[in-house]
Amino acid sequence: MPLARLELARQAGLTQFGEPVVYTLAAGGAPFEVHGVWSDPHQVLELNGAETVVSTSEPKLGIDLPDFLARKVAAGYAATPPAERDSFVRAGVTWRVIDARPDSSGEGLDLIVHRV
């Protein structure tokens, strides 16, 4: 798929499935709005050869890095990627970033989070 078409598809996904969240940097400062696709997949982990089963989830917010950086710059900050201990509010719940992993598109990040 040509790069321009991939970019259009990625932007369409963010527009269709994304939602605004209020993002705050760990270093402090005024919060700003970013858009991302929320996911909270359920996982069942078997430990010790299935003797112990743990049910958990890995909540994450998928963001488009160029969009995130543009919104961050527009809010008066340097164009740096999300960092551990940044946080955001989604649907009245505060989440803290514990890891930022590249997604398969090459332009996005999955922000792995935990509830504060």
The two tokens of residue 97 are 């970033």
Per-residue pLDDT of 30-60, as tens digits, reads 999 999 999 987 777 777 776 777 777 889 9
Sequence spans of domains, the chain: 3-115
pLDDT at 92: 95
Q: Which of 68, 40, 74 is nearest to 56 (CA)?
A: 40
What's the topology of domain 3-115? Thrombin, subunit H (2.40.10)
Below-50 pLDDT ranges, the chain: none
Q: Is the pTM of this model over 0.75?
A: yes
Residue 39: CA count within 13 A, CB half-sphere:
16
pLDDT at 105: 73
In the structure, how many helices (H) and strands (E) does the chain have? 2, 8
d(CA 48, CA 107): 38
Question: Which stretch of DSSP H or E encloses residue 96?
Answer: strand 93-102
pLDDT at 46: 76
